[in-house]
Structure 1
């Protein structure tokens, strides 16, 4: 009795074996190879022969594998490009653990014409399926278009809102700039007014107080020489002299206060940046003040290494070093000679200065407070004169060039002022 392989190979009806998953022709008998004319037919894909689309072929293979349909009609292309309407009887098998379809094929033109009718019905069915797919695709495209249009409308609406807010912000910015310009003009005007209307009265107070003091001294000498009965007593003279001295000291204090306020207000103006050599500037500061010049001459103000050039307003930087060195001299420790060291280091395009002394120092809890305007940790006196504006002027000048300032412990418990300036380019 012949086995299946012999039956398959020698049968007169074209037969082949297809893989369900890929549509590959795993085996084809001699009759199939002769009919289709491909050499070899084995190894080809059904897509190369069947006229349906790959998707339609895949669907048909799945239906056949599920035994939903075992007698089919297809148009097949032969090796010579002839088109044949083929009837296909197919059955599902498992061969070597693999799902396959074994099909026998026949040319319908050799049988009744009803085969053509069956094929036309199949084609119409496929056309209907394709039409449904096209309609579904059009529907999806329509929904996507509507969604894209809605999204575009939302984006346009958001852009319009943002544009409106930007315009309103620009208007607010213009108003703010105008207001700031007006305020700056007011401050500048106030500075000039203070310079004229405040300094002049204080100057006159000092002048008249000095004249009174001189006249009082002359009157005392005159009355004493004449030994008049109506001469001013020594006690009255002391009280009058005390009053005159108080007027003079308060007038001087008022003058100093007005000068410091005027300098503070002038710092609101845009600084004139230039390349400055700190070493030369510090020498100029020391030479302009007798006590600092003496410290510099004795070597009490030490600059171990050359300081890097910076980009700053020379006038304001001179004021900064003068205020810091003057504070070091004023608040020196009485039990030891004053020593001031000025160093600098370059970091991230800026120069960090450190001005430290061995003076009386500032306790940590007061280091933020002393940088505020009109702040003093000791009462104003002949030993500690000033208006409490020194460090406030330094802070304000540094803010103009985005500088920072901090206070740390210095030499032997003294004070160290750390601040930074832009490195000169």
Structure 2
């Protein structure tokens, strides 16, 4: 008789008869796995099943100290001993009725083999399914990667083509800007000079037709010169270096308002009012001065002759941006034209001495803001006038 720990299979109690039969000096130094000829997995399964209904009488092959193997009959019960679960087993030698014992043992072994074979088969089937799933998943991933790679290569080719095209267009624009500055501007200057010479020659002549013709040549030459200068300024915005820094819009506005010759009449009318503090912005001072100059000049040029002009400047800070607004009580812009006037050469008033210009002013404003993702919108101002709002990055 002996006791075996269910947890680890250690023989921790054996009576003298067991010691004498097995021939080992001390059975309590052994684990059942050292004596039983089943595999460790089979022994573990038997230990867990032992003592249950229908599993209390077993036949096992055990190795004795002299190397011989005996088929042992085992009656076993589960018990609690000193706080742990044990198998209390009575053992007997089946040599006297070996055929019956052997038959039971073989049946038990065959049962274990069938069980293990089924488990191995199931494990192999699972491995096969996992292998096929992994292979399929790998094939899908490889396919996706190939498609992505092909698309990336196509996109890279398109990007190279696009970059090449953009570089070519930029070089063309640079050449065009240079031509506008020199080749186009020079003929217009000569026309103005020639018209002035003709005016001096005609003098007080009574030839009205010649005088009208000369005046027309002079005015058109000056208009051409202004148009060329505005187009050149528009094209040069791309190549003009941009110095981004924290600046004060109020300081830039004061500088433009006080020193720009085109705004002299606006200064004399004392029409400019700054309604609120203007928060600092992160922008280029020259471009901001250009924007203020163009918008203030437009406010003066398109004022309503029926009432004194009022120009108000205000600002609002939100989400890391500063929204600046310049509003007047002038003629205003109808809603259907508020997008159109932001394009190049767009004019709502025919060119004349009263309303001179090229239609490039607001287009210059739009382009000057693009590099900092600034937006421009036109709204209705006081008394039906115009309110132009644009935004810039707030100071850092």
* Normalised-by-shorter TM-score class: 0.7 to 0.9
Match of 1:277 in 2: 248
Rate the CA distance shift 1:251–1:291 in 2: closer, same or farther, 3 A. closer
TM-superposition CA deviations, 1:357-415 (whole Å, max 9, x none): 11111111111111111111111111111111111111111112211010111122211
C-alpha distance in 1 between matches for 2:181 and 2:372: 26
Match of 2:74 in 1: 85
Match of 1:375 in 2: 346
TM-superposition CA deviations, 1:123-153 (whole Å, max 9, x none): 2112222122112202321331233134224
1:317 aligns with 2:317: no
* 3-state DSSP of counterpart to 2:160: helix
Q: 1:181 aligns with which of 156, 167, 180?
A: 167
Match of 1:172 in 2: 158
CA shift, 1:216, in A, is 0.4
TM-superposition CA deviations, 1:226-260 (whole Å, max 9, x none): xxxxxxxx4xx111111110111111111111111
Structure 2 regions of 5+ residues with no counterpart? 1-41, 61-71, 78-88
Rate the CA distance shift 1:270–1:208 in 2: closer, same or farther, 3 A. closer
* 3-state DSSP of counterpart to 2:276: coil
C-alpha distance in 2 between matches for 1:368 and 1:54: 88
C-alpha distance in 2 between matches for 1:169 and 1:381: 51
C-alpha distance in 2 between matches for 1:359 and 1:281: 24
Q: 2:58 aligns with which of 64, 74, 81?
A: 74
Q: Which has the larger radius of gyration?
A: 1
C-alpha distance in 1 between matches for 2:299 and 2:135: 73
Greater Cα offset, 411-420 or 111-120? 111-120
Q: 2:212 aligns with which of 232, 235, 242?
A: 242
Q: 1:286 aligns with which of 257, 263, 273?
A: 257
C-alpha distance in 1 between matches for 2:48 and 2:90: 21
Rate the CA distance shift 1:55–1:416 in 2: closer, same or farther, 3 A. farther
RMSD of equivalent CA atoms: 3.0
Rate the CA distance shift 1:312–1:206 in 2: closer, same or farther, 3 A. same
TM-superposition CA deviations, 1:8-46 (whole Å, max 9, x none): xxxxxxxxxxxxxxxxxxxxxxxxxxxxxxxxxxxxxxx
C-alpha distance in 2 between matches for 1:413 and 1:189: 43
> TM-score, normalised to structure 2's length?
0.75
C-alpha distance in 2 between matches for 1:112 and 1:400: 102
Match of 2:300 in 1: 329
Match of 2:21 in 1: none
Q: 2:141 aligns with which of 155, 160, 167?
A: 155
